[in-house]
Amino acid sequence: MSRTHPGVDLTKNQLFLDDLWIEDTLRITRQWHKPEVFPEPVLRPEMPWEGTEVLMNGTVLKVDGRYLMYYLVERSVPVRALCVAESKDGLRWTRPTVGAVEFEGSKHNNIVLEHTQTPSVMYDPDDKEAPFKAIFHARRFMNGKGGMFGVVSRDGFRWEYLPGPLLGSIGDRKHLVGEKVNGKYVVLIKPGDTYDLYRARVAAMVESEDFRNWSWSRVLVRPDLLDPPDTEFYGMVAFKYSDLYVGLLERYNTYTDVVDIVLAWSRDFETWRRPVQRETFIGQEYPWNRLWSSPSSAAPVHAGSQLRIYFGGRSGAHNHSKSPSPVQYAAIGMAQITVDRFASLTAGFKQGRVVTTPMVWPGGDLMLNASTTRSLVGYPLEGGGDMLVEVWDAGNTPLPEFSGDNKAKFDGNAPCRITTDSAVVKWPGERSLNDLAGRTIRLVFNMKDSHLYSFRAGK
């Protein structure tokens, strides 16, 4: 039985994280891909107030062409502080003098707030008075109260406290989603009482219409039958990506005492899915992140054809007082993955085929993020495979001008490190899929030694 997907915007990249667009396959596997982690951190603890740890319990944003990094430090005195760093390219960072908080008799530092735990920042350009908004957790803060607190700022450096707490105790892990979800501000939390229900930490959410009044919503992700029995979720960040939401979960294995990052996604922000294999997305690459990796609360930053994912790494474990290292070291690193390339439909040396579910083509060229390179770690333009594209109607009948001897041929790797645009697919005679605007069609990919990541209509 064929399926259609009304309401899906085909002008946005359609990824193959699930089977939404898959009707039938032959000799095809879904392959999951990891970002490349840069060997060296982009920010290390260097200043007296940073000690041996700079923590990505915070956010990296790109605002008006500049990068801002909000990160947490835990000094030798029992005061957690939020700091800010700046960058023009996202690689080389400087610490501006903010002059807001005194440290050892001087305000010549980049500290912007004190008494913060797991701070998270968003940029809301629709709010001209206070486009920067942040939430943080504190155990005892205003009048000795604990919970979730909020601050706002015009420039991202000087902050104004909101009357608080905004919410009482809802757990100590909080990530502010960078865009409104269904018209509401959303914070992803690690509830403090879920042990009573699930015997594990889980990912949940609270929401608000005005950033001042917050209410509990629901649990989003919890361990299931495919997870090892020692699995918990220490935190979750989520961001809009094309026409779905991508989540990065901090997966905590309580037996090995290791926290890594795994992938999740949702099409409605209610039902979340994860790869069946449950492989690590980011984690345990180098000594500085060997036991804990935690992502920035914001969406990855686009840099050409690449997505930059900023994350914090720690040498010590969650229970670091019991770990082999007597001193915990923490730095902030960067991982990079080509746009859309979280997962691919991959064919080996034998011819494979993918048949999509029916779709009403909106017009425009067919655009592909795909590769006919046999090896994904080799030279990005080196060939070895092939991909032929044909078009069928809703009843599985090939359209003669777009099938058979008239198949379109895709050859190459787009986008790649030096090519930022998706590939335009043309059929013989420079025929375009725009000729089928308004018709219900299926796309058929005949593949060998190739990888298909996404497609869209090039309006």
- Reading the chain (459 residues) residue by residue, the pLDDT tens digits are 335 676 789 999 999 999 999 999 999 999 999 999 999 999 999 999 999 999 999 999 999 999 999 999 986 555 789 999 999 999 999 999 999 999 999 999 999 998 888 899 999 999 999 999 999 988 777 666 788 999 999 999 999 999 978 998 788 889 999 999 999 999 999 998 887 888 899 999 999 999 999 999 999 999 999 999 999 999 999 999 999 999 999 999 999 999 999 999 999 999 999 999 999 999 999 999 999 999 999 999 999 899 999 999 999 888 765 555 567 899 999 999 999 999 999 999 999 999 999 999 999 999 999 999 887 776 666 667 899 999 999 999 999 999 999 999 998 887 764 555 578 999 999 999 999 999 999 999 999 999 999 999 997
Quick check: 72 and 49 in contact, CB under 8 A? no
Q: How many CB atoms lie within 10 A of CB 302?
A: 12
Torsion angle (degrees, nearest 10) of CA 258, 261, 266, 270: 40
- My answer on whether omega of the bond before 39 falls inside 30° of 0, hence cis, is no
- Do 251 and 357 sit in the same domain of this protein? no
CB under 8 Å to 195, separation ≥6 — which residues?
A: 201
Domain end residue (candidates: 290, 305, 338): 338
Q: Is residue 9 part of a domain?
A: no
Q: Which of 306, 338, 370 is the last residue of a domain?
A: 338
d(CA 273, CA 427): 36
The pLDDT, as a whole number, for residue 173 is: 87
CATH number of the structural domain spanning residue 115: 2.115.10.20
401, 452: one domain: yes
Q: 361 and 312, same structural domain?
A: no
Q: Domain range spanning residue 149?
A: 36-338
Q: What confidence score (pLDDT) does residue 319 get?
A: 76
Beta strand pairing call for 408-410 and 386-393: antiparallel
Same structural domain, 91 and 233: yes
Domain presence at residue 256: yes
Evaluate whether 457 touches 363 at the Cβ level (below 8 Å): yes
Structural domain contains residue 1: no
134 and 23 within one domain = no
Alpha carbon distance 149, 111 (integer Å): 18
Query: Do 357 and 385 belong to one domain?
Result: yes
CATH number at residue 425: 2.60.120
How deeply is 31 buried, as exposed, middle or buried, from its count of CB atoms within 10 A (0-12, 13-18, 19+)? Answer: middle
For 83, phi then psi, to 5°, come to -120, 165
- Choosing from 309, 338, 367, the residue where a domain stops is 338
Does 289 reside within a domain?
Answer: yes
**220 and 149 within one domain:** yes
Query: What is the predicted pLDDT for the residue at 289?
Result: 95
Question: What distance in Å separates the CA atoms of residue 149 and residue 441, rounded to the nearest whole number?
Answer: 51
Of 426, 447, 437, nearest in space to 349 by CA: 447
Structure token digits, residue 438: 């308004």
Alpha carbons 29 and 343: distance in angstroms, whole number:
10
Determine the 3-state secondary structure of 405 from DSSP: helix
> Are 112 and 137 contained in the same domain?
yes
**What pLDDT was estimated at residue 1?**
35
Domain for residue 247, yes or no?
yes
How many CB atoms sit inside 10 A of residue 407's CB? 18
Whether 86 is covered by a domain: the verdict is: yes
pTM of the model: 0.94
Residue 2: predicted pLDDT: 38
**Per the domain annotation, does 8 fall within a domain?**
no
Residue type at 34 in one-letter notation = K
Q: Token digits for 147?
A: 């919970």
Res 74: pLDDT: 83
When divided into structural domains, the chain yields a total of: 2
